[in-house]
């Protein structure tokens, strides 16, 4: 974004610092320098900021009430042209500020030149970017509310399905399918909480900071903040024009959130491979050569986005690390990764929501993945309930597993005599251990996989999602 101290593409144009320069700008430099090709996305925020600023300089008597009215009406006309798609980008419109002020002056005449009194494109771009970012973050929270709500309702719908839980990609213990899904919604809930926490820090008004030293006409920055819906004002004018922490925070946030989406995608891919989950055709593609293929492309793309997201976050942070105080043109590099990050997040949330609500669990195949050996811990717990220390029961249960492996039989087919040969404290009721539903229901602590616990998790997610919409 162009600094107030930078020339426009025409050097000597109405809106730049052209009086300082005699020659024209190298055409390649004009292309290298411009930002209108991407910062035009902030047209609405730029006009809102200008309307507020016109009122602010009117309040301190820099312009008359009639001039305030003329400026506001002219800016509203520019806003309407953007809405209707009739605005025209012309040579010399190197950024969104230049374009809007140029068009304003065309509409209302020389009074348009008074709008920039005491204002710099440094505090202007900082204001636009904060407004745009906060609006985007609030919009993303609504998308996250949709995903969390739909995911939780889907989990409740399939509450009675059991599946194998894994650690190290090895079968571990039986769990509920809904418990597995909630394990992916839970970090996304944390992501939403983190995003909510970012907004108050981003939602601070830098307008009125000038180029770096403050505003020479004593504009009321608290008024500006209220007019624009900010929570407060930035405390230091020098920092205000170069602070992009809020951009870094969002980029870091989106990398972590997409990491969680990636983990979900990988889990679904694995379960799809094992035939435990069927992915809807809307989120798969075929092979150009092999007719039998159904590739989980949507999930693979979700998985791939996280690495690119981290690159954006690290890349822009590296750009910031060597900058001196106040505005430097390097800061123009914040827009593209920010805009791309928001677009990617919204697309990924929409795709992930679609995958969840259309995928179909296969109860038979999920049950087939369960094996009695996954109840070996339950066998150890059986003896714990008879007063045997767990460290001892763990060893005893392991001996039972080893015997079943040596006999090449399933552990649940070992006879009572065989079990008692390992430990005499096994009794006839040990057969009740080999029940997956009983095993799952014993995990009744908060956050566990029993039905009541999972339903509580679902209700908590649903309640939380209502706070986001």
Token representation of residue 430: 């040990």
168 is catalytic: yes
Q: Is 54 exposed, middle or buried (0-12, 13-18, 19+ CB in 10 A)?
A: buried
Give the separation between CA 121 and CA 241, rounded to whole angstroms: 9
**Does the CA dihedral 24-26-32-36 come out positive or negative?**
positive
Instruction: Quickly list H helices, 85-120.
Output: 96-108
**How would you classify the pairing of strands 162-167 and 170-176?**
antiparallel
Give the separation between CA 205 and CA 233, rounded to whole angstroms: 4
Q: List phi, psi (to 5°) of 243.
A: -70, 120
Give the separation between CA 426 and CA 325, rounded to whole angstroms: 74
Q: List phi, psi (to 5°) of 176.
A: -85, 145
Q: Count of CB atoms within 10 A of residue 69's CB?
A: 13
Which bin fits 219, alpha (ψ -120 to 50), beta or left (φ > 0)?
Answer: beta
**Marked catalytic residue, from 37, 64, 287, 410:** 287
Look at the block and give the residue holding tokens 């791309």. 340
Cα distances (Å, whole numbers) of residue 253 to 183, 194, 305, 307, 312: 19, 8, 13, 13, 11
Give the separation between CA 374 and CA 355, rounded to whole angstroms: 29
Q: Which residues contact 193 (CB under 8 A, 6 or more apart)?
A: none
Look at the block and give the residue holding tokens 């939380």. 464
287 is catalytic: yes
> Which residues, in sequence order, are bridge partners of residue 232?
204
**Marked catalytic residue, from 3, 37, 158, 168:** 168
Mind telling me the catalytic residues? 168, 287
């Amino acid at each position: 974004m162009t600094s107030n101290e930078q020339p426009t593409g025409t050097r000597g144009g109405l809106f730049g610092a052209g009086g300082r320069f005699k020659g024209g700008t190298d055409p390649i430099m004009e292309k290298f320098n411009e930002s209108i090709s991407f910062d035009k996305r902030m047209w609405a925020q730029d006009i809102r900021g200008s309307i507020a600023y016109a009122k602010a300089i009117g309040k301190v008597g820099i312009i008359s009430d009639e001039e305030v009215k003329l400026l506001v009406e002219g800016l509203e006309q520019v806003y309407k042209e953007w809405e209707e798609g009739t605005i025209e980008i012309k040579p010399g419109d190197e950024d969104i500020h230049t374009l809007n002020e140029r068009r304003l002056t065309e509409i209302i005449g020389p009074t348009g030149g008074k709008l920039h009194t005491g204002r710099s494109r440094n505090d202007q771009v900082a204001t636009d970017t904060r407004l745009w970012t906060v609006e985007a973050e609030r919009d993303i929270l609504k998308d996250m509310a949709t995903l969390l709500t739909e995911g939780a309702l889907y989990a409740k719908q399939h509450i009675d399905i059991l599946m194998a839980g894994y650690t190290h990609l090895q079968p571990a213990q039986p769990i509920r399918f809904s418990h597995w899904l909630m394990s992916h919604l839970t970090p996304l809930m944390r992501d939403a909480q983190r995003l909510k926490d970012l907004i108050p820090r981003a939602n601070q008004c830098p307008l009125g900071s000038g180029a770096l030293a403050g505003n020479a006409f004593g504009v009321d920055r608290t008024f500006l903040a209220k007019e624009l819906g900010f929570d407060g004002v930035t405390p230091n004018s020098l920092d205000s024009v170069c602070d992009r922490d809020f951009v870094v925070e969002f980029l870091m946030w989106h990398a972590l959130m997409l990491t969680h989406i990636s983990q979900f995608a990988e889990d679904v891919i694995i379960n799809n491979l094992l035939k435990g989950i069927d992915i809807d055709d809307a989120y798969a593609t075929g092979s150009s050569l092999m007719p039998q293929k159904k590739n989980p492309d949507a999930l693979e793309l979700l998985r791939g986005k996280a690495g690119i997201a981290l690159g954006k976050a690290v890349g822009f942070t590296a750009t910031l690390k060597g900058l001196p105080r106040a505005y430097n043109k390097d800061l123009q590099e914040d827009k593209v990764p920010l805009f791309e990050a928001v677009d990617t997040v919204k697309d990924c949330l929409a795709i992930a929501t679609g995958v969840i609500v259309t995928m179909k669990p296969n109860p038979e195949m999920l049950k087939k993945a369960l094996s009695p050996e996954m109840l070996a811990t339950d066998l150890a717990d059986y003896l714990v309930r008879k007063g045997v220390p767990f460290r001892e029961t763990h060893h005893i249960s392991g001996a039972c597993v080893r015997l079943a492996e040596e006999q090449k039989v399933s552990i649940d087919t070992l006879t009572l005599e065989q079990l008692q040969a390992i430990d005499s404290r096994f009794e006839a009721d040990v057969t009740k251990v080999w029940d997956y539903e009983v095993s799952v229901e014993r995990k009744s602590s908060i956050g566990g996989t029993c039905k009541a616990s999972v339903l509580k998790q679902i209700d908590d997610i649903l309640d939380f999602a209502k706070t986001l919409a």
